[in-house]
Structure 1
Amino acid sequence: MSDLKKSILVVEDEPTLSAILCEYFEHYGFHAQSLDDGALVVDFVKENMPDLIILDLMLPNRGGLDIYRDIRTFSHVPIMMATAKIEEIDRLIGLELGADDYICKPYSTREVVVRAKNILRRNDVSTLVEQKDLVINDLAMTVTYHQQVLTLTPAEFKILAFLFKNSGKIYSRDQLMNHIYNDQRVVADRAIDSHIKNLRKKMADVDPSTDCIRSVYGVGYKFDV
């Protein structure tokens, strides 16, 4: 991580928990801020652009799911979603929201900080790859195709970036799932097919002749150079 302090936004309406979490982040060299009102979050993120968000699901005035969806319309900032129910995490995964991590209360504050550091460390690996009118920027999590920015979900971005950087190699659904979901969560294998279908459509909207993500029958997918 750079010498510049990374900013963490803790969205949590339990004041004691929020204060402890912010204190831990500050202790480990981060700049931490907190909000306890769901209605304030989206505007705050637009104005301050934090490097990572800890987002509780149950908030006054506006729920975490609605906040998450709104943020994803303008930012790929890493988001760790927090809930008091393990069953809620299963439901979130089923919705394929694409959050960077999920944590269940009561959680270890130290573990949250470690997991946040790991997410930020991955995002700090700045890579700009360009080929076939496609430009992928890992640091900014942006994809430009024929000079047009593609609006992708985090899962779609990870799949495209991975296949693109490993052009010509064939990867099974399981391999792609392991790359996207590295926390051992259980996800339906057809989720990859759905992400690929969405990627193809978004690229075809820019260039109808696009045919670079190929299906290899009975094996998986590859990016054609």
Structure 2
Amino acid sequence: MKIAGTTALVTGANRGFGRHLAAELLARGATVYAGARNPDSVDLPGVTPVRLDITDPASVAAAAALAGDVTLLINNAGTETGTDLLEGDLELVRLEMETHYLGTLSMARAFAPIIAGNGGGAMLNVLSALSWVSFPAVGAYSAAKSAEWALTNALRVQLAERGVRVAGLHVGYMDTDMTAGVTAPKSDPAQIARIAVDGIEADAYEILADDVSRQVQAGLAGGVAALYPQLP
């Protein structure tokens, strides 16, 4: 889809990757709603702040009523609690699932009819290389992102006939607040935002933004032995 002239809503747009996405869309001529739980925290000139908590159905409904001209939805809002599935706080596991899976689903259910009613458009779900591979320290996050990947695949098929193209962005670590404690190599979020928006403009269904994602995707064909060589 052509970005110039479109109207987009980016969730979690007050900081990190979401802010970079909003800035990239603005630079390409889009009108941008910036969703955040605290709209006063949105400091990007040119966007329209929208109060939005994707885990709150009333908040999602209010955002949909306000932003009825949207043709592009970017589901970026997320959390990373660093929760172990076996020993971590079960409430934090629920939070990961409520945010990444049910929150994304709530946004899709609210905005898919709006996008279709406006003549069609696109939806991008910000996923992760951890949608495909998991480690104990981020077990809750990976499980939630895997569920969101499955959700993305289902919506992609279901919404195609309604003129809504659903894409997934897979990326490794980006240099944002969420990964402040990570020492592994990190991508520049501004560059990943450009790659993501390029993918939307190219009508891509799946956007692999870095080498990590491409390597992990290739490993899927090799099964458990390829993804988890440390197992006996």
Same structural fold, with TM-score higher than 0.5 when normalized by the shorter chain: no
Larger Rg: 1
TM-score, with length taken from structure 1: 0.43
Ranked by relative contact order (alpha carbons within 8 Å, sequence separation 6 or more), the top structure is 2
Query: Which structure has the highest helix share of the two?
Result: 2
